[in-house]
Amino acid sequence: MDFFVLESSDHVEQLDGLLSRAGNGTPDLDAFGRHSRAIRGSATMAKITGIADVATGLERVVKGLREGSLHWSELLRGAVIAAVDDLKILIRGARTWGTAEDHRAAERAGELNTLAPAFHRRSAATPLTAMGASSGFLAAEATDVAAGLQRYADAPGPISTFEKTLGRVRALRGVAALLDLPPLAEVVATIDETAKSLEISGATPTDAQCNLFRTAAAVLREGAEAVHDGGRPDPDSTAVQDFTAAAAAMAEGIGESDPIVPISALFPDGGGANVLHAAENPPTTAGQRFRRETVSQAEHLRRLVGDGQSAADGPTRQRVGHELRAAVRALGRAAESFGETSVAMTLQALIEGASLLESRALSALDEASRILTAGDAAPLAGRFEALLNPAPRITVPVLAPVLAPVVAPAPEAGQVISPAEPDLPPIETFAPDASPVVSAPPVLAPNAPSGTDLHHLLGAGIQGLSGLDREPLSEPVDVDDDGIVPIQDLLYRGRAALHRAVALSDTLKRAGPSPDAESLAELYDLLELAAAE
């Protein structure tokens, strides 16, 4: 990042100098294009797409001026000067990139794109008849590859027997038009990656890999027929769903166990200079080393989050979900090795949500990546814990007004008041926005004193209440202590909560791509209970 800021600042100052020397005229296009291209390349390497987009817009302006499609005018000059000025601000804010920088870069790149439009690739909605002969080529190649995959899945053997079909798979993967035909591009890429693992190991394919090839062949055959007829593959067909399930099953079969390394491989033979000792005064702290080690991982994770937010078809969602799971797990291991326990626990809690491409988990991971790449020295523990426990919303309870009972006047001598007489009004309570609820008068025990007897009993004062020990108002009721269950026994905790969360996530997968909010809330609560144990 330091190198990027230093190099790009120099190039943007060169651009500013070229504009100043040109006055109202056209600047030196060769030099202007060279410095713009250098900024774009440096920003691309640093993965700061906003700056790269603005620099790309300046390159298009230079190209248009050279070709004659653009003419240097006061409007164009003002837009270019504004873009160079904004590049200075964006480069200074590269270390703390946020929403404001995104907005500034997008606004400036959009203005340049309006003046010098980019060449747009054909969108997914372009009719295939516009492809001409290429649609026939894609249909024929996809059919041949599907036949080769089916033969190899039915009679698996060494990878050398699959070389011819594998060559056609890789040639098909290089066809740009395939990107406009989801999910064919994703299927072909998955086949290629699976074949690479077989080439490295030299083993014959497993049953899961054969099933993957077999379902991929069905998707390619179905897609070839659609392309041949001038249509488009169905991304939600049964064949695509089978392929997605096969890819998920194979990914689960690979497992995520840590590699076992012999302890002898970690130490050199002998002693002396081969033995390393910790420095008494290290130049950097463990936290600083952690940020430096994980900044590239965080940038990779941020790119995967973007891919997950834009993934549409099933195979793409499955692949991105698997890659996100592996990336989050790797970053969590790194955090744990540096003693960043809060970071590791937060990432561990987000793994399942990331693999399902849940919006809340993706947003939390995007914020986590931004924190790790920001470069500030603020402690990480509290900021990462806040990703799982956002500030609670404060709700003010509405208390139901209670109408006090009307107290009857003191009875005259000799008058008996029965609790069943209608002269005693019942107690009324009103719930918010509800009709009045009338409660019935209490019913006393049969032998309980009432009327004059109760008046004389209460008139005796506190001392008179001691008689209740001998003659209670009602018979005592035994309480069965064995029937009392502690509240903790009714809650999921630890592994029980984790097992319940896994079962609930399976239910959500079967329910479809849009789970209901109540089930998601339950899943998040279970994850918090699992992490608290």
Do the domains at 2-115 and 130-254 have one common CATH topology? yes
pTM comes to 0.39
Each residue's pLDDT tens digit, 374-433: 766 677 777 887 887 655 444 444 444 444 444 445 455 544 444 444 444 444 444 444
Type and span of the H or E element at 428:
strand 428-429
Residue 320: other Cβ atoms inside 10 A: 22
Query: CA dist 344 to 139, 409, 490, Å?
Result: 47, 71, 29
Beta carbons of 454 and 467 less than 8 angstroms apart? no
Rounded-to-integer distance, Cα 48 and Cα 52, Å? 7
Short-list 343, 257, 337, CA closest to 298: 343
Rounded-to-integer distance, Cα 495 and Cα 497, Å? 5
Pick the CATH number of 2-115 from 1.10.1740, 3.30.60, 1.20.120, 3.30.460: 1.20.120
Short-list 128, 138, 198, CA closest to 162: 198
pLDDT at site 179: 67
Pick the CATH number of 130-254 from 3.40.1000, 1.10.3470, 1.10.390, 1.20.120: 1.20.120
Give 108-112's long-range contacts (Cβ < 8 A, gap of 24+): 108/54, 108/57, 108/82, 108/83, 109/50, 109/53, 109/54, 109/56, 109/57, 111/57, 111/79, 111/82, 111/83, 112/54, 112/57, 112/58, 112/60, 112/61, 112/79, 112/83
Beta carbons of 89 and 98 less than 8 angstroms apart? no
Mean pLDDT per block of 10 residues along the chain (533 residues) reads: 86 90 88 89 85 89 84 87 90 86 86 70 42 66 89 88 85 71 82 84 86 91 85 84 83 58 65 65 74 79 84 77 84 84 86 86 87 75 76 46 45 48 43 44 52 58 58 62 58 73 78 74 78 67
Tokens representing 365 are: 């991971």
Three-state SS annotation for 171-190: HHHCCHHHHHCCCHHHHHHH
Provide, for the chain, the percentages of residues in helix, strand and coil under a 3-state DSSP scheme, each rounded to the nearest 5.
65, 0, 35
Rounded-to-integer distance, Cα 325 and Cα 319, Å? 10
pLDDT at site 134: 57
What's the gap between Cα 528 and its chain centre? Answer: 16
Type and span of the H or E element at 291:
helix 286-310
pLDDT at site 215: 92
For the chain, the structural domain boundaries read: 2-115, 130-254, 285-388, 489-532
Each residue's pLDDT tens digit, 508-533: 777 777 777 777 778 778 787 777 66
Phi, psi of 398 (to 5 degrees): -95, 115
**To 5 degrees, how large is the angle CA 156–CA 160–CA 164?**
95
Rounded-to-integer distance, Cα 295 and Cα 293, Å? 6
Residue 22's Cβ-count burial label (10 Å; 0-12, 13-18, 19+) is: middle
pLDDT at site 474: 63
> Roughly how many angstroms between the first and final C-alpha of the chain, as a whole number?
40
What length is written for the chain? 533
Rounded-to-integer distance, Cα 271 and Cα 494, Å? 45
